[in-house]
Amino acid sequence: MGFMLRDWLDLSLNHSVPSSLLILSRAFTVSGKVRPEEAVQATLSSLPDEVVDTVGITALPSEDSVSERRRKLEYLEMQEELIKEEEEKEEEEQAKIKETVVSQEDLALKEMTIPTAREAQEQARARAVEKQEQLCELSRALAVLASASSVSREREEFLRLVNKEIELYNSMVEKEGTDGEKEAMEAYRAARDESDHAAKVAVGDEVSSALIDRVDAMLQNLEKEIDDVDAKIGDRWRLLDRDLSAQGIACSIAGCSCTWSSDSSPLEEMEKSSIFHVLFVLGVVVK
């Protein structure tokens, strides 16, 4: 231990070796077989050049103040260059980091934009389909409106048939109790049978078949078409008068049947059943 301490002091005092180098080189552990100068040289050669230059400039004594200042100035310039290099490296690293962040943001934005564009296309397609459906509904409404005239013709045919039956019944009622009662009953039955027979067997007659088709279609679709026209077209279009086809007939029948009483005769009962049979055939319900 004493020998190591003497080597330490010799290197520090006699050879002007800085204490920092002695600590770094761990010269106090060198055995006596190696010269101290060689140990220090080997240690210095293993150290980085920057460390050696820094220690030599800051710790070694100089011959005069001018050379010492020059050495320190060179050292400061070297440190400044090192600082600049470090700053440039740091700026490059920051730039790389920013580029990475920007690229990631662009990628995320692109990933977000693609679904957004797809959703916009789907919404536009849905709006186009909805508009097309609205146009189809409008076309159907216009078609219903265009067919309103044919519905009116069917209604007129229907009213004509009902009025014909009512006239026959009134004529029969007027002749009730007279000599022409039997003839009126026979005429009424013959007219009804003729109407039923014409509706069933007159297929070859174009006018009769067209009338039957209109009446059948009217019985099935008249109320539905009138409601559709009223709901879709409104007051701005030509409305189908549903009251005329139902309530008017009901009022006419009510006027004819107001004289019936609870003690009706068999003839009146037969007449009543005949009238309701006609109404049932024509599809009219009187309340």
Q: What is the pLDDT along the chain (287 residues), one digit of tens a residue?
A: 567 677 777 877 777 777 777 776 664 455 556 676 777 777 767 777 777 677 666 666 666 777 777 877 887 888 888 889 999 999 999 888 888 887 777 777 777 666 677 788 888 888 888 888 887 776 676 666 555 455 566 666 767 776 776 777 667 666 655 555 555 556 656 666 666 555 554 444 554 556 566 666 666 666 676 566 556 655 544 444 444 444 444 444 444 444 444 444 544 555 555 555 555 544 444 44
Q: Is 102 inside a domain boundary?
A: no
How many beta carbons lie within 10 A of that of residue 168, not counting itself?
21
Q: Is 197 inside a domain boundary?
A: yes
Q: Quote the pLDDT of residue 170.
A: 67
Q: 156 and 257: one domain?
A: yes
Q: 47 and 152: one domain?
A: no
Q: 156 and 54: one domain?
A: no
**Dihedral, 251, 257, 258, 264 alpha carbons, nearest 10:** -170
Q: Is 103 inside a domain boundary?
A: no
pTM for the predicted model, two decimal places: 0.25
Q: 156 and 50: one domain?
A: no
What CA–CA distances, in Å, run from 30 to 21, 35, 188, 207?
A: 14, 9, 149, 136
Q: 35 and 154: one domain?
A: no
Q: Which residues contact 219 (CB under 8 A, 6 or more apart)?
A: 282, 283
Q: What is the DSSP string of 138-188?
A: HHHHHHHHHTHHHHHHHHHHHHHHHHHHHHHHHHHHHTTTSTTHHHHHHHH
Query: Which of the listed residues 61, 83, 111 is the one where a domain comes to its end?
Result: 61
Nearest-5° Cα angle at 198, 197 to 204: 125
Q: Quote the pLDDT of residue 59.
A: 64
What CA–CA distances, in Å, run from 1 to 20, 21, 34, 210, 233?
A: 20, 20, 16, 137, 118
Query: Which of the listed residues 61, 83, 112 is the one where a domain comes to its end?
Result: 61
Q: Which residues contact 137 (CB under 8 A, 6 or more apart)?
A: 232
Token pair belonging to 65: 């103040």
User: CB of 152 within 8 A of CB of 240?
Assistant: yes
Q: In whole angstroms, what is the distance from residue 272 CA to residue 101 CA?
A: 95
Q: Quote the pLDDT of residue 105.
A: 75
Q: Is 80 inside a domain boundary?
A: no
Domain count, the chain: 2
Query: Which of the listed residues 13, 31, 61 is the one where a domain comes to its end?
Result: 61
Q: 157 and 47: one domain?
A: no
Q: Is 133 inside a domain boundary?
A: no
Q: Quote the pLDDT of residue 68.
A: 75
pLDDT digits (tens, 9 = 90+) for 81-133: 888 999 999 999 988 888 888 777 777 777 766 667 778 888 888 888 888 88
User: CB of 134 within 8 A of CB of 197?
Assistant: no
Q: 46 and 152: one domain?
A: no
What CA–CA distances, in Å, run from 161 to 16, 167, 245, 246?
A: 141, 10, 12, 14
Q: Quote the pLDDT of residue 162.
A: 67
Q: Is 50 inside a domain boundary?
A: yes
Q: Is 29 inside a domain boundary?
A: yes
Q: Quote the pLDDT of residue 63.
A: 65
181-201 helix and 148-174 helix, angle to the nearest 10 degrees: 150
In single-letter form, the type of residue at position 147 comes to S
Q: In whole angstroms, what is the distance from residue 274 CA to residue 280 CA?
A: 10
What CA–CA distances, in Å, run from 130 to 3, 118, 119, 120?
A: 103, 18, 16, 15
Token pair belonging to 23: 């600590």
Q: Is 34 inside a domain boundary?
A: yes
Print the domain residue range for 245. Answer: 148-282
